Amino acid sequence: MSRACELRTCALEWLVETAPEAKAAGVLALAAASLSGDTTLDCALELKTSATIPGRPPQPELVPPRLVGRRSMVTVEGRAMLIHALAHIEFNAMNLALDAIWRFAGMPPDYYTDWLRVAKEEAEHFSMLEAHLRSLGSRYGDFPAHDSLWEMAEKTRGDVLARMALVPRTLEARGLDATPGVRAKLAQAGDMAAAGILDIILREEVGHVEIGNRWYGYLCAQRGVDPRATYAELATFHKAPVLKGPFNIEARRRAGFTETELADLG
């Protein structure tokens, strides 16, 4: 980056950026600047903005999940639709990590550097998927997408504990369960490049969910509440989706879920 900046302020600047490629490049530059010491950490600063959050391009059109369309592996277009859906998830995940940085003041410094790492890796995931989508003759924005992941971010915008409980530990953890099956379908269709990208994403998403688990545990301890009971209350209050198997138990274990939590999955 060309200038030193305050980390949370810069995270907000990239969150409201509407061009996906520019957003991803900006996040990577911010992560590099932070690593080189070219940022300050404005932990306690209360930030405000009048900009639309998150910044998005005019396309893709956002529709209810049932209208996104079928994703057959038989045709190139079908595979492109699937890769597009995955790219949209990673674009939203990049925005979610940036939002976790700027929105919640007063957290320990490690919280912000953890979520900057997540934002960086989500930006890399999006860029890999978008490049592969182009190799299939399409680009991000060519197909409709849904907004379920960001809807939970809106519901939890007022409480960092709820955000940690219901975004990384719930919605993003579902990706740990779903990715192996999607990877197998792409490999069976002969798209080994896409399968390789999903191998990277699954490996790194374990770490992202672990970060959510760790900060959820920290916040529960700080507030003196029981993690298990609190999660159930938050999931009910915010109408989180009911989780259904099959579950990637080993990945969830590596991501920091306790044996009791894994048993609760049924």
Higher pLDDT, 147 or 184: 184
The pLDDT score that the predictor gives to residue 215 is: 98
Radius of gyration of the chain (CA): 18
Which of helix, strand or coil describes residue 6? strand
Residue 35 in tokens: 């690593």
Instruction: Find the helix packing angle between 173-188 and 76-103, rounded to 10°.
Output: 160
The pLDDT score that the predictor gives to residue 72 is: 79
Report d(CA 16, CA 2) in Å as an integer.
Answer: 19
2, pLDDT greater than 50: no
Report d(CA 71, CA 18) in Å as an integer.
Answer: 27
C-beta atoms surrounding 61 within 10 Å: 11
The pLDDT score that the predictor gives to residue 14 is: 97
The pLDDT score that the predictor gives to residue 66 is: 77
Residue 198 in tokens: 């999903």
Report d(CA 151, CA 225) in Å as an integer.
Answer: 26
Residue 137 carries which DSSP code? T
Report d(CA 260, CA 165) in Å as an integer.
Answer: 16
Kindly state the average pLDDT of the residues 157-182.
96
Kindly state the average pLDDT of the residues 236-265.
95
Q: What percent of the chain has pLDDT over 90?
A: 85
Closest C-alpha among 96, 100, 128 to residue 199: 128
Kindly state the average pLDDT of the residues 5-9.
91
Residue 165 in tokens: 């409980």
Strands (E), the chain: 5-6, 39-40
Q: Which of 55-59, 64-68, 189-193, 208-212 has the lowest mean pLDDT?
A: 64-68
Residue 206 in tokens: 């374990």
Report d(CA 212, CA 219) in Å as an integer.
Answer: 11
106, pLDDT greater than 80: yes
The pLDDT score that the predictor gives to residue 4 is: 56
Q: Is the domain covering 60-264 a CATH 3.40.50.12780 domain?
A: no
Kindly state the average pLDDT of the residues 28-38.
94
Q: For all residues of the chain together, what is the average pLDDT?
A: 94
Residue 100: band (very low, low, confident or very high) from pLDDT cuts 50, 70, 90: very high
159, pLDDT greater than 60: yes
Higher pLDDT, 203 or 71: 203
Residue 65: band (very low, low, confident or very high) from pLDDT cuts 50, 70, 90: confident
Residue 1: band (very low, low, confident or very high) from pLDDT cuts 50, 70, 90: very low
The pLDDT score that the predictor gives to residue 81 is: 94
Distances (CA, A) of 193 to 51, 101, 200, 259: 37, 32, 11, 35
DSSP assignment of 244-257 equals: -S---HHHHHHTT-
Residue 127 in tokens: 């860029």
212, pLDDT greater than 80: yes
| Contact (CB, 8 A) for 179 and 64 | no
Q: Where are the domains of the chain?
A: 60-264
